[in-house]
Amino acid sequence: SQTDKRQVAHTLFYFTDPGDLVMDPMAGGGVVPDVCLLFERKCQAFDLAPIPSRRHPGLSQRRLA
């Protein structure tokens, strides 16, 4: 199921600071990276089957073997 963007925003706003690194090991649809960009947090997001980002085409995607 997709993570609610409001819950992620609330959590990152209150428990992280701008510039902090947020790790998302189950990135899926990219909700956490989107919120990180909005709140100026760094983000490392991973997924077994990543969905190519149409919202942020400049972000790199690598397949880890």
What's the pLDDT tens digit per position in 1-54?
467 899 999 999 999 999 999 999 988 888 999 999 999 999 999 888 766 656
**Residue from 29, 31, 35 nearest 47 by CA:** 29
**Enclosing domain of residue 23:** 5-45
**Residue from 38, 40, 33, 39 nearest 61 by CA:** 33
Query: What's residue 65's pLDDT?
Result: 41
Q: 47: which residues sit within 8 A by CB, 6+ positions away?
A: 26, 27, 28
- 61 inside domain: no
Query: What's residue 64's pLDDT?
Result: 45
- 29 inside domain: yes
Higher pLDDT, 21 or 64: 21
- 15 inside domain: yes
Domain count, the chain: 1
- 56 inside domain: no
